[in-house]
Amino acid sequence: MSAEIKSRIHQLIDSIKDENILQMVMEDVAYYANSKDAINELSEEQLKELNEAIKEADNNDTIDCTDFKREMDEWKKR
């Protein structure tokens, strides 16, 4: 780990006065500091479904947002 980079990050954080911005920075840092990769947590079946969904998207086999919302509304009525 580079002490110089850490020092520069600390200086930048110390210069932030807005609490909302500090909260956003904290959330971002927490995300990147988490060493877990969500992909590693998926089961074989979930990985298979994810790969199928990616292939569908790559082939433009998708629905638009309006159709999706309509389908979700119909699903909620069931």
The pTM for the full model equals 0.43
Q: 74 pLDDT exceeds 90?
A: no
Q: 43 pLDDT exceeds 80?
A: yes
Q: What is the DSSP string of 66-77?
A: HHHHHHHHHHHH
35: amino acid identity, one letter: S
Q: For the chain, which residues make up each domain, given as ranges?
A: 1-35, 39-78
Q: 38 pLDDT exceeds 90?
A: no
Q: 75 pLDDT exceeds 90?
A: no
Q: Measured between alpha carbons, how far is 29 from 6 in angstroms, rounded to an integer?
A: 12
Instruction: Give the tens place of pLDDT for each residue, 23-35.
Output: 999 998 988 887 6
